[in-house]
Amino acid sequence: MTELAEGKKAPAFKMAASGGREVSSAALKGKPYLIYFYPKADTPGCTKQACGVQEALPQLGKVGIEVIGVSPDAMPPIEKFAKKYGLEFPLASDADHKVAEAFGVWVEKSMYGKTYMGMERSSFLVGADGKIARIWRKVKPDQHAAQVLEAAAAL
């Protein structure tokens, strides 16, 4: 797999999402969007990140940016997470990690000396042309929304 970089075409995707929705790159054709990857629904960092994005939705909407959150969770925990925090943007399930692998965010991680595969907290701002305008790797949940808003304004 080639490393994704700013200016390259974003990988195609299609996933089931919260609220009975489906998200796909085809449906977003011609629109700018933020696709962000998070490790697990309803954990402290992921909650902080999702709530920050939710708060930024009105400003992101003003500049026409759609938002999709993606985790390896199955739909039931994602639905519960979205409902619990009133998250209006779609949260998608990438249980087979295909989309995460395409974006290069299904990575080897380690905790307490054990290594395992998991989702790297990363975000990709994609322009209306389908090309990646900005990449954030190893995102800090509490700074994420502000960084996205700043970059979105420059699109």
Burial of 95 (0-12, 13-18, 19+ CB in 10 A): middle
Helix 44-62 to helix 75-85 angle (10° resolution) is 70
Rounded to whole angstroms, the Cα distance separating 78 from 86 reads 12
Asked if 106 contacts 100 with a C-beta cutoff of 8 angstroms, the reply is: yes
Give CA–CA dist 81/78, Å, rounded: 5
Query: What distance in Å separates the CA atoms of residue 36 and residue 29, rounded to the nearest whole number?
Result: 17
* Token pair 């979105």 in the structure block, residue: 152
- What are the residue numbers of the active site? 46
